[in-house]
Each structure stands twice: as C-alpha cells, then as structure tokens.
A and B are shown apart, each in its own frame.
Chain A
C-alpha cells in the first residue's frame, strides 16, 4: 500500500500534471456547463472558443466534439526562434521561461503564488517565443492526439526533437555548476518538467556524491569560520560570501 517509488515525479506523473494545463478549444458541438469538482466548465457553443483543462480537451477531441487550438509557442516559426535562441544567443543557459502573468502587487491576491500547471501558458493567447514549464509533454500530447490541429506537425515534431537534444546537453553540462560554488544553490532557470524528471536522478546523485566527498572539508571550513568569527553571529559571516 505504501508507494514503492523514489522521491521525485515519474514521467507519467509529470504528464498527469501537464494535463491540468489550460488549453483553448473550438467546440464542434454544444455542451452545457458541468459542475466539476474544480469549478464549473464554460458552456461550449460552436464556434466560440473556450478555455478547458487539457485532459478534458483531449476527451472532447477524441470524440470529435472539439478542436484544440495549439498555443502560439508551438507554431514552427516560434519554435525556430526559440531554437535559435537556445543555440546562438545563449548556448549555455536554457531559454527564459514565460513571464509570470500576474505580477505581485501590494495587495495580497490568490494569484501571487500560483505556478504551473495552473498558469495560462498554453492557451491560444499565451505569449509566443517562450517555452512554458510543461512544453515537451504538451507538445508531444498535442502531436499525438490532435496532430490535425497543429500546423505543419512534422516540422513541429522535428523542432521539438532538436530543442530536446540541445537542452538535454545543457542539462548534463549544468553538473559542472554543482561544485559547491554559490552557496550550494545552482540555478536551472527555464528548465522543463520532463527534463527535471529525467535529469533528477543524475543531477541529485552528483550533488549528493559531491556533498558527501566534500563534507569533511565543509565541516573544517565551518569550524575555521566559527573561530575567526569569534563572538559575531553566524549570519554576519554568511554575508561575506555573497
């Protein structure tokens, strides 16, 4: 009964999460609003567009009750620009994630701490030229279940594969940054969910291995700093290493 899985989401679980992303559908049949657990669905009335979670959009698509509008970033022109950014503009870092649609204001709002898959990063009015967190899964799912809705599906498929290869080598290369610098925190800005799921075992394995190898050195350093710091609080010491 206990879950026999390691820490960290499996690719299946990542895909499950991805199915919560909102996409835009064009219904081909009327469907009254349904009172779901996560709130009422919009009334579907052709040919008016409506936002729906991906799992529901797929259900409608398989029954030919709706078409899915691919997000702007999944168009070949946008993917090509992202690929160029990944290879030429920043050959080491991932391309940046889409900007947060709800900036933090002085008023506390429920959108302050919202994160993927609940950000509208794959609807028809999402910004182009940014890969959202669930880009790979979403692209693959749409190409598999709704390839007739995606313009130039073969080119998109090829571009997704190119992006994946470029980014996988960056993911492996990021291991060099794990060597204790920067206070043991390394940034993976722009990384995707499936890439985290795939790279987790390797990256965390390296990180934990390095930590165990360097633990005596780390303890020695901390003791030395403690002596040098004398009566000062440990917080002051940490500031020096910024």
Chain B
C-alpha cells in the first residue's frame, strides 16, 4: 500500500457525522454549510500539529476535513493543468504561486497520514483491541492495520511461533496480569497551549486538573499560554478543542 492509495481511498469515503460535534469543539460551526479554504487550512494545520505532538493516535477527523482538503487539492491540480496550456509569462508566475501552495497542502496531508501510520505500526494490536480505539482510525487505516497485523502474525507463525506449544502461541496473552499488548505512554509529557473555553468566566481560561507526584491540583491556563503537562491530564481538553499541542 502506498500513500497515493490511501489518498485515493479517502476521496471515495462517505462523509461521516462528527461524533464530537457538540458546538464548542468545532471552531467553525458558524459557517458549517460551506467551509472556507482558510478554515480548512487552520483545521488541517491543527490536526497535523496535534498528531505530531501526541504519543498516541488521535481520533480521525469525522467532519470530512481530510476528504475535503484532498478534493480541493485535486481540483487545484486540474486548474494548473489547464493553465499550463496557455504559456503566457504572466500566468506563468501565478502558476508558480498556485503550485507552491498546493505543495504546502500536500505536505501537510502527507505528513499527517504518515504520522498516523507510524503510530499504527508501532502499536497495531493495541488499536485493534477495543472498539473505542478502533473508532479513532479511518476506514483505510483499519484496513491497513488489519492487513499489517495479519502479515506480521503469519510471518511469526511460519518463522518461529509455529514450533511453540499451542498455549504459548498467542500474541495478546494477559496471563499473570500483564498484557502482551503494549500501548503508547499515556502519561508522557506534552507541550500544550490553552485556546480558550467558555466554561469559566469571560477570559476563556481553561482549567487543567493535573496529577503530580506530591499532589494533584487545578491549574488555570489562560488563552495563548503554553504549559507542560501529562498527556492523560489534557487529552480531553485537546479533544474538546479547548487546548492544542504545540
């Protein structure tokens, strides 16, 4: 499977309803009908930076963001192909600008998808193990993860697992209270920025309930303020859109 296959698959994917869409997490709920390119660029940038910063796989954007962005790029490339027909030096420079921008969008999407693939590769069984985690993957990613795990398991079976006793052949044993399936470190530290909340006062302060070694506490993070915290303490706030990773 290649990036272009995933990108192609995305185009044909039906646009799901956003399970997290309850108003405040969607900064652009107001112009939901026709998402502007600028809003999509901002959303795409945010999901990319978040995904690059987090150790675990974040939920796939269910509002069709990636599909929309891919379609936009496709249309723009068609436009470029039309414009290359008439080689007038004046449109030539416009063409360079348009192509540069398309490359920037393509980089964002490619890096975003590759980051997700690397996380799926690292903990394939973990993400396949519960429906809640599986929900975070896009359809193509589920197909990729399943196939990946199948190939790996078959390879293990034929190379060494097959000669083990039957009861030692599992890859997902939880005997002895220790699960064989390893997941990402959910308590790993992250840099997050407060984006603002509507819950506390008018200043948009976000309250982080943090767990420390010597005591738990609540810390008020102002809008635009960057803090270091444990990922598990801020995960919900990031998913709600009140914070972002930096």
Contacts and interface: CB of A to CB of B under 8 A. Distances in A.
Contacts, number: 224
Contact of B118 (A2, A181, A183, A215): A2
Contacts of A146: none
Nearest to B119: A2
Contacts of B96: 59
A65 B196 CA distance: 39
A32 B93 CA distance: 11
Contact of A214 (B190, B198, B213): B213
A104 B204 contact: yes
Interface string A20-56: 1000000000011010111101000000000000011
In terms of DSSP, what is the predominant structure of the interface of chain A? loop
A183 B28 CA distance: 33
Contact of A112 (B189, B204, B221, B227): B204
Contact of A238 (B52, B121, B217, B227): B217
Nearest to A13: B52
A121 to B, nearest CB: 10
In terms of DSSP, what is the predominant structure of the interface of chain B? mixed
B117 to A, nearest CB: 4
A189 B226 contact: yes
Nearest to A110: B28
Contacts of B118: 2-5
A228 B55 CA distance: 34
A3 B233 contact: no
Contact of B208 (A13, A185, A210): A185
Interface size class of B (residues with CB under 8 A): 35 or more
Given A182-B210, A183-B216, A110 B97 contact: no
Interface stretch (A135-143, A147-155, A196-204): A196-204
B78 interface: no
A61 B36 CA distance: 27
Contacts of B211: 183-184, 218
B33 to A, nearest CB: 13
A110 B31 contact: yes
Given A8-B52, A183-B210, A184-B230, A3 B117 contact: yes
Interface residues of A, number: 72
Nearest to A210: B213
Contact of B219 (A39, A185, A188): A185
Contacts of B188: 7, 204, 208
Contact of A179 (B30, B208, B213, B244): B213
B246 to A, nearest CB: 6
A55 B218 contact: no
A162 interface: no
Given A36-B97, A108-B29, A110-B39, 10 more contacts: A1-B117, A112-B196, A114-B42, A115-B46, A117-B45, A182-B219, A183-B218, A184-B212, A185-B208, A215-B213
18 contacts: A5-B118, A36-B101, A37-B76, A39-B38, A65-B93, A97-B224, A105-B202, A110-B39, A118-B45, A182-B210, A183-B211, A183-B219, A188-B226, A190-B226, A211-B187, A211-B189, A238-B217, A241-B217
Interface of A: 1-5, 7-9, 13, 16-17, 19-20, 31-32, 34, 36-39, 41, 55-56, 59, 63, 65, 97, 100, 104-105, 108-110, 112-115, 117-118, 178-191, 193, 196, 200, 203-204, 207-208, 210-211, 214-215, 217-218, 221, 237-239, 241-242
